[in-house]
Amino acid sequence: MGPLIVNEIISQNTNLLLAFFIGIGFGFVLEQAGFSSSRKLAGMFYGYDATVLKVFFTGAITAALGLLFFSLFGWIEMDYVFVNPTYLGSTIVGGIVMGLGFILGGFCPGTSFCGAAIGKIDALVFVGGLFIGIFIFAEGFPLWQNLYLSGFMGDITISKALNISPGLFVFLLILVAVGMFWVAEWAEKKFPREEY
Amino acid sequence: METNFQQVRKTRYMNPYVAGVLLGLVVLAANFIAGRGVGASGAVKSTIVAAVETIAPQHAANATFYKDYGESHGGNPLNSWLVYQMLGVLVGAFLSGIIAHRMKWKVEHSPKITSKRRLIFALMGGILFGFGSQLGRGCTSGSALSGMAVLSLQGFISMAAIFGTAFTFAYFFRKNWI
Amino acid sequence: MFSKLNFRVILSALLILLGLIIAAVPENTTKPYKLTSGQMLEEIKSGTQFVQPDQVADMLINKDPYLQLIDVRSPEEFDQFHLPGAINVPLDNILSDQWTDILDQDVKMNVLYSNGTTHSNEAWMLIRQLGYGNNYVLEGGLNYWVETIMNPASPVSTNPGDEFARYDFRKGAGMALGAGAVAPSQQEGTSSAPKPTIATKIKKKKVASGGCS
């Protein structure tokens, strides 16, 4: 059945329209969770606000579990779902650069758009920075093309890399996440915090 | 101390676990409908490619990055899934802001620093994040969150690298936030 | 509704429970599309697994990277003669693990062939039932291939024009693929050759694009 677009159940234009509605859901949830506030996001890294960890991991686990069950019931063909290809080198270096950007700017791209939508000027400036950063990357592309293509491993999943079943991996991930939630609740009580 | 007008009108944020489940359902819906997760930085890239193609078509036809993009995507860069999705994000966040009475022009920063300093850091952070998102093939949404949902190895590495780095350097920038 | 702690406890318990279930389910049942016998029958009836020799010849000449010819005859027969670029996967041990990567993939278009179509069709049914996609059978097998591509019969003069075009194409293709000498001028027939008239559904990799790309 799914993915609807690949199996030609819906048209290209419907797909784009649905993208808009998915975006509305995405933006609404991010803003409701408080991701439009940079101090709330940055709080993650000082222990006073672990909202990011809770929302992020609950979201990833819910989606991963949902996909596995959908695939179990035959509702979605996972072979047709996009699996981000792994390029070890560029993913790690890119992740480090993004991590620096996160602690300096207090947003990630998705959340900065949410912040900008409700009038946060710092978020708007961050969005401006995104444009500049991506433009620099595009213009200097030949300089880092080799790094960009380094460490290619294909569309590999983590369960395959660890040689365990996807179900078992998700179960372990859930155990880790639940453990982290408890630590997070403890940390939030220990470090002073206020709502922004 | 929390009885001033602004505080009373402000609706509290959603329970993070409820928000997480809803976020997961959004990602699940995206995969079910379009066979892909959500994203953010890709929409900015499409906009830049479209702008360059309009302003400097000669340059866009020659520079590797724009050429590759044109070859792998085709058509108008703005007519892409992620661009429509990001327009939705703006609308969704705006609606949420209205419902929760959070619409307000302001620069949010720690009381220890000035607005100007906050804005300079926001700009630097944006530049770094924009650059890193292209090198790492996606940001926290497209690479880490959506990648983890489909159990992509890349998603987990990306998540670990982003959050690990931010934790490591958090100490040096603590004045900006607490 | 729930207090904060309660929701977290309930959610954690629910997630762990669901996680246990998904971890306990045998993995092969999470593969959604092994075919039922009904689905197999439908596919066999529709005959979409067959590819015309003309199309294969066209792909061979154009060095189409998607084409992968698979010879299911015995190694001895394979050594005697095989189509260019073909690999030998004998029907006897087609289910062996060593061929899984070749047969179960969604990038190339595998075309199975044997002398006739009996063995290649048997091979196709076996792997199709396992859920492997992108596998096809060469219509008529090698016998028909030799008949049409290597030694095409010239059409009768009353035949419509495209018959001649197809003849030219086959003649040219046959020469390019190692049949008897043909005058060079006729080889140009390949470029003007009509695409094979029987439309075979070729499923190229159709995964959705995604990420932030």
pLDDT, residue A60, reads: 96
Higher-pLDDT residue of A124, B74: A124
pLDDT at A1: 74
**Could you say which of C11, C30, C207 has the minimum Cβ distance to residue A68?**
C30
Asked if the Cβ–Cβ distance from A94 to B153 is below 8 Å, we say no
Q: Decide if A27 contacts B93 (C-beta within 8 A).
A: yes
- Hey, are the CB atoms on C210 and B147 less than 8 Å from each other? no
Predicted confidence band of residue C184 (pLDDT cuts 50, 70, 90) = very low
Chain C closest-CA separation from residue B77 CA (Å): 11
Q: Chain B closest CA to C212's CA: distance in Å?
A: 4
Task: Give the gap in angstroms from C-alpha C59 to the nearest C-alpha of chain A.
Answer: 26
**B28 interfacial to chain A (CB closer than 8 Å):** yes
Q: Tell me, what's the pLDDT at C159?
A: 67
Q: Where are the domains of chain A?
A: 1-32, 34-72+166-196, 84-156
Distance between A175 CA and the closest CA of chain B, angstroms: 15
- Say yes or no to pLDDT of C201 above 90: no
- Please give, rounded to a whole number of angstroms, the shortest distance from the CA of C192 to a CA of chain B: 27
| B75 lies within 8 A of chain A by CB | no
Chain B partners of A81 at a C-beta cutoff of 8 Å? 31, 35-36, 150
Q: Check residue B2 and give its pLDDT.
A: 41
Beta pairing, strands C87-88 & C50-51: unpaired
CB nearest B35 (choices: C7, C8, C208): C208
Q: Which of B146-155, C88-97, C195-204 has the lowest mean pLDDT?
A: C195-204
Residue B1 Cα, gap to closest chain A Cα (Å): 12
C14-22 average pLDDT score: 93
Homologous superfamily in CATH for domain C1-26+33-213: Rhodanese-like domain (3.40.250.10)
Between chains, do C213 and B34 touch, taking CB under 8 Å as contact?
no
Residue B67 has pLDDT above 50, yes or no: yes
Percentage of chain B exceeding pLDDT 70: 94
Nearest by CB to A181, from C12, C30, C206: name it.
C12
Cβ–Cβ contact B47 with A under 8 A: yes
The phi and psi torsions of A103 (rounded to 5 degrees) equal: -75, -30
List subunits contacting chain A, requiring 3 or more Cβ pairs under 8 Å: B, C
Compare CB distances from A26 to B44, B88, B110 and report the shortest one's residue. B88
Q: Which of C8, C208, C212 is facing B137, going by the closest CB pair?
A: C212
Q: Does A99 touch chain B (CB under 8 A)?
A: yes
User: What Rg, from alpha-carbon coordinates, does chain C have?
Assistant: 24
Cα C36 from Cα C25, distance rounded (Å): 20
pLDDT at C173: 77
Provide the pLDDT for residue A74: 83
Q: C207 CA to chain B: closest CA distance, Å?
A: 8
Query: What's the maximum distance between 2 C-alpha atoms anywhere in chain B?
Result: 61
Q: Is the pTM of this model over 0.80?
A: no
Check pLDDT > 90 for residue B148.
yes
Which site among B116, B117, B140 would you substitute to test the A interface, given the most A Cβ atoms closer than 10 Å to its Cβ? B140
Closest residue to B169, CB basis, from A24, A64, A100:
A100
pLDDT in tens, B77-113: 888 999 999 999 999 999 999 999 999 899 998 888 9
What pLDDT does B130 receive? 96
Contact: A61, C20; criterion CB under 8 Å: no
Whole-number pLDDT of residue C207: 62
β-partners of residue C112 are C70, C137
**What's the whole-number mean pLDDT along residues C21-38?**
67
The partner residue sitting opposite A129, judged by closest CB among B16, B122, B154, is B122
Q: Count A/C contacts: CB-CB distance under 8 Å.
A: 78
Q: Please give the interface size between B and C, counted as residue pairs whose CB atoms are below 8 Å apart.
A: 46
Neighbouring subunits of C (3+ Cβ pairs under 8 A):
A, B
Nearest chain C residue to A80, by CA: C207
Rounded CA-CA distance B52/A105 in Å is 26
Q: Do A167 and C22 touch (CB under 8 A)?
A: yes
pLDDT: which is higher, A193 or C133: C133
Dist CA A47 CA C74 (whole Å): 67
Q: What is the pLDDT of residue B10?
A: 55
> Range with the lowest mean pLDDT among B136-145, B152-161, C97-106, C159-168?
C159-168
pLDDT of residue A181: 93
CB contact under 8 A, B136 and A90: yes
Ranges under pLDDT 70 in chain A: 192-196
How does pLDDT run across B11-22, given as a tens digit for each residue? 689 999 999 999
Rounded Cα distance, C17 and A171, in Å = 9
- Tell me: pLDDT of C202 over 50: no
| B-interface mutation test, from C14, C209, C212, most B Cβ less than 10 A away | C212
pLDDT at C13: 92
> To the nearest whole angstrom, how far is the Cα of A26 from the nearest Cα of chain B?
6
Closest B-chain CA to C14: B21
How far apart CA C156 and CA A25 sit, in angstroms, is: 66
Mean pLDDT of chain C: 75
A154 CB neighbours in chain B (<8 A) are: none
C181 inside 8 A of chain B by CB = no
The answer to whether B82 contacts A19, with C-beta atoms less than 8 Å apart, is: yes
